[in-house]
Chain A
Amino acid sequence: MIRLQNVTKVYEGGTVAARDVDLDIQRGEFVFLVGPSGSGKSTLIRLMLRQEPITRGTIWVAGKDITTLPRWKIPFLRRSIGTVFQDFKLLPNKTVAENVAFALEVLGRPRSVIRPQVDQVLDLVGLADKGARYPKQLSGGEQQRVSVARAFVNRPPILLADEPTGNLDPATSVGIMKLLDRINRTGTTIVMATHDHAIVDAMQRRVVAIDHGAVIRDDRSGRYESAMRATTELPVVDGLDAQAEYEELAAAVEAREMAEDSEE
């Protein structure tokens, strides 16, 4: 689904953000890109979106070489990729429903199609009753749910998420991860950059560790710490049990949701 071959990105001033990266991501995979801040995770996401030109190498997305894609075709690429970011990137002057609908409007879908699809996806992310609100009227977690809804509303084959839980508290993060997990189960390939240990360890999915722009480990079913510990000297926090922490949080969230459901 996504293939990076010898991908190198050097910024002005000589900073190497990606160094001969080779990566092959299959359809339906859920891949975590992990690594410390400045390791190059976000750069890889931006390169896959053609937000930045590549210095060397080739990136194929859905069988197409996007490094040679003419400028006018970039919007078409982006329409086949859903994106979720740490800072939500919602249009402040549009309501929740309009933000989600915008991804379908750019595709030229008629309103008769857009409305039910937006309602459906807002229902999926648990915001069916907040379609008329503006982003600033929502909590951070709710805003991120809108962002996920917008990314998924046109059922893209790929969803790229750059630190989607970076601005959220652990409980809210679990909710977002459950959403992404559900989306992944529909067959959508998900690539997520994060440095959230608990989430990576709890999800037990493929982990690609990046450091100084290079892939230093690629575990098919990995944990954050093991991936990093193999080649870097990050301090290990004594007594950290990420799996237990995640399960505890997930249970708490589920209990809260069940309580809310029964109240309704």
Chain B
Amino acid sequence: MSRLAFLAREAFINLRRNALVVTGAVLAVFISLSLAFGALVLNELLRINTLAWQEGTHVVAFLNDPDQGGLDPAGQRALMTEVEQWEQVLAIRYVDKAEAFVEFQTLFSDRPDFVESIDPSILPASYRIELTDIDLYRDVVFQLRTLPAVRDVRSFGEQIDQLSSLSTVLNVLGLGLALVLGGSAVILIANTIRMAIYARRDEVSIMKLVGASNWFIRVPFVLEGLIEGMLGAGLAVLTVWVASQNLQGVGDSIQLLRFNIEDAFFLRWGILLVLFGAAAGVLGSFVGLSKYLREAESKPAAA
């Protein structure tokens, strides 16, 4: 127990006495993991916004007026109940002529002359349909067109298709970027810690000379790597979280985009990132030290 306490104390003393090298290692972890975590957060924002853009009406079916061979309003409502039963349909809303005119008025509120020139009776009633899966829009459009009561069908399928493709590409790019940055982070962290150990390689030789076993030398270095990794990763998580909170404030004024990432996301990824930083620190120390432990085994110490 006293040995473990000594080794832990050694790690903390070394951290204090090698402040400059330690700061360098922590900064390396911080910068690399901030970039990687930033990429992950951007990816999450993209996902949230893609989902948001996919919400709402996917298909609009305009209905024939009764005098054009269509159904009366009661019939139109009855047909709506039928369509609602289709498995591809998540929700359906009936918009009658009066509501259509209100929508029209709202849409062209800046052009009152144009609104006044329109006869409300020419605006068709319609069904606004939200699908369970936007990829199924072609089936629904096809089925709706077979109905005699339906005059015309409009869907946002193509736009949604494009959005989906773009979203997939961006998601892959975002994840790829996070992976590449994460991989670079491991190499950078391991290398920085190796450099820190390199600067103290003579110490390793001297410790071996005095009779310290490999694990006795290794434990403080590994603890240092662990602390540096966790500290750098913790700072990275904190910085990205603060940046995201600020972005959320800006996002409130931009209606088109959403910036509100759930706290659960930050908690989940934050913990993972701190563990990742710790693992990278431990790995860096372990690998970096092994070389000098081997060297010290076979070469005279140089002080």
Q: Which residues of A contact B (CB under 8 A)?
A: 42, 46, 49, 51-53, 71-72, 74-79, 83, 85, 87-93, 102-103, 105-108, 110-111, 150
Contacts and interface: CB of A to CB of B under 8 A. Distances in A.
Contacts, number: 74
B6, B14, B17, B210: which has the most chain A beta carbons within 10 Å?
B210
B210 A150 contact: yes
Interface residues of B, number: 27
B111 interface: no
Contact of B209 (A49, A72, A108): A49
Contact of B207 (A49, A53, A71, A102): A102
A107 B2 CA distance: 11
B211 A76 contact: yes
A93 B211 contact: no
Given A93-B18, A108-B3, A78 B209 contact: yes
Contacts of B216: 75, 106
B299 interface: yes
A89 B209 contact: yes
Given A88-B303, A93-B18, A110-B2, A78 B297 contact: no
B75 interface: no
Contact of A72 (B13, B206, B213, B298): B213
Given A42-B300, A93-B203, A102-B212, 10 more contacts: A51-B299, A51-B301, A53-B298, A76-B211, A78-B209, A78-B211, A79-B210, A83-B209, A89-B209, A91-B206
Given A46-B300, A71-B297, A87-B303, A103 B210 contact: yes
Contact of B211 (A75, A89, A90, A92): A75
A257 B2 CA distance: 39
Interface string B156-200: 000000000000000000000000000000000000000000001
Contacts of A102: 207, 210, 212
A167 to B, nearest CB: 11
B208 interface: yes
B298 A52 contact: yes
18 contacts: A42-B300, A51-B298, A52-B299, A71-B297, A74-B297, A75-B212, A75-B216, A76-B211, A78-B209, A79-B210, A79-B211, A83-B210, A85-B303, A89-B301, A90-B303, A93-B203, A106-B212, A108-B3
Main secondary structure of the interface of B (DSSP, over half): helix
Interface of B: 2-3, 6, 13-14, 17-18, 200, 203, 205-214, 216, 297-303
B298 A103 contact: no
A42 B209 CA distance: 15
A78 B208 CA distance: 8
The 3 closest A-B pairs by CB, nearest first: A79-B211, A78-B211, A89-B303
A150 B209 CA distance: 11
A111 B213 contact: no
A93 B216 CA distance: 17
B22 to A, nearest CB: 12
A248 B32 CA distance: 65
A87 B300 CA distance: 12
Contacts of A42: 300
The listed residue with most B CB atoms (<10 A of its CB), out of A49, A51, A88, A111, is A51
Contact of B213 (A75, A92, A93): A75
B2 A108 contact: yes
A136 to B, nearest CB: 12
